[in-house]
Structure 1
């Protein structure tokens, strides 16, 4: 009896032990599943939050770069009028109404500057434009006090760069100077509307005239931050639901950019909806978490799979942001940032490796938008990009730096004959009929200015300025043609002789 009792007792003990271990195993398995689920939730939260923050930082950086480019562009457009001996003669020294109406008014017709002011050294506003209407007036700057801070900045820069010469004063060369070193930039409120403003003095370019003593005459122009401005700046960014609001308060970490006027008073904020938010991670993470209760094997596989997919998503987002930062979203060409980088690297290789800067501007492109709409204009830009890329090939970089403005850095062809042939190929290609989305066709043209490195400069600013000047000459003298920057003095002399002799003028291409 004792032996049987002992056997049963010994049989019962292992049963209790196995049951206890089983419960511990289930408990440990449950604990592991719970810990793994919480860990995955935490990883998902951190990853989505980090992805949100990085995407928004990249978008803000891209927006700031684009806005800075627009500031520089408004000054470059002003330079065509403000840095000119004829402007000094007909505005500063002898105020010519017709000259002012024609050339100051061109800032609207050519570049869509909504408002332009000419402000004399005694704070008298001599003229102002309202889009396509130029009003000759004489009223004191005190009537428009919001302009006084930026006018004061422009005068301070003038005093810094003014040079005394025999017979009066001149101005130092703009080559090598950053835009902010000779022009005042910022935001102000004009007519109750926030506006991007540039202001610079009227100064000579060829040293044939002298500036008088005293404060300068300031050319100030503005682009309102309206729907047209937002559409223009967003044509490069393609942000979702971009808008400008008067409110200066933004949610912490939200996509946006706040602006203040020159006196540091708040004006409002640019807002948009981020396209790269990581909220879509959660609908895929939750099913994986539910699968953790099935088995530890599924749990391990699910964690590894999700982490791998999450990493791929972050890498894809980073690649997309890098691509957007260096490419124009409409045409797929290099944007201004990539162009500036390639230009800087090309300059560093001088004089061992020469190159050319080819500045191209479409002729009659505005008529396409006005006649067929912006969708047609976008189609034309894409076709132009394809034709330019095909013509240039792998030997150069084609970049879109404005609405209808393209710049090429050409390394494989640097002789004048080859560049002339390339320019003629580009002009011929672009002049061919452009297909439109509705089956119609349209025709545009192309004007080209070419600067050779190191002949026209050994720094990017000088080369771009030289190409700009050649392009401007091409546009002003017939369009649909190319001009070398090195030919400008000869061309201008030939034009002057032609005018003196009463004959006509045909510029050489």
Structure 2
């Protein structure tokens, strides 16, 4: 009762401390971590979009690009040098599309290779809202100037590390070719920001930069999060934090990740109380463990030893009669007359060894024979000592008569090899009988009787030999026990 009362008191104290301290701390820490990581993830993708805008502007905010479009779409050398060898090879833009507002003039490049106008227009379908926004932004930035048009310049900010760009670009994140990608759309303009009167209608440049696994891995390392990726906005999964990125209302995907556990914050808040209760708990449990561990281990050792001795011969370590019966019963229980073979063996002249040299010599002989039988049979079967100098072997599965005779004769030869003991060699022999299930009986009893009868025939035939039950005349089969009398 004292132990139970002490354990109950510790559990109550531990539970109260955890509830009062950890519940409040974890709730606050979880909320803090999730909101902080949401801000970090949104800022990370905003930074990546800004970088893509800067890369794209090197092509869309460029005199050479503007001049290439004077007579239509860019030529092959421009596509090769700027779109394939630069934007695709160096920056990894998977799609680059030049298009007029009406879509009549269009040039599409996918992974550095020009594609048909039809494929380019199909891709524009997925970013049509962005192209409309880019068109509006372009026209809103125009003002008359010197018989043409001037694009409003960017507001310079000395704190920015990248050059400011005219605010005529539009960006968003879309699922392009089954990969989340950053899409930037901007009218192509010259560095001077001056648009001649006959060039007022713009040509838009659409670029697509896939968000690769390497980009996500780099972001994970920078942010200290894990499992960063994209998930459909309708996903409901416990433990998954999501936030929209890119400011694109048409994007059906959101950034998702597994939030960090606020372990350090919680432990700093609760460590003093937890340490005190853990020390009390450890002291009580140490007392209980010391009192009962020795008893439990002793009981386990005793039960294990008793269970082993109940099924094994204490001298040789082989299965005893009980253990052997279990093995045979398992072989029978497989059903469908699953075949197996029984080899019954007796040692010849073993009694003479016991009488002349003593029981210690007899034990040495039994140990040597058991070891030889086990080595000979190996994983093919189960070797048992049924008592005295009687051994029995179970071989599961179907076996040919010749193979069984060869094994049994090898076992007989093993018994004939002299055994060194106390400076002398002990010589014995052996006989073996073989029977098979279901050929020689429909029950274990019948098979064992046939094996014993075959063993008896081997002894009568001069010993040191093996006999198969199929070679024994029916008149020779004896009742159980007759062999041992012989």
TM-score, structure 2 length as denominator?
0.47
- Bigger radius of gyration: 2
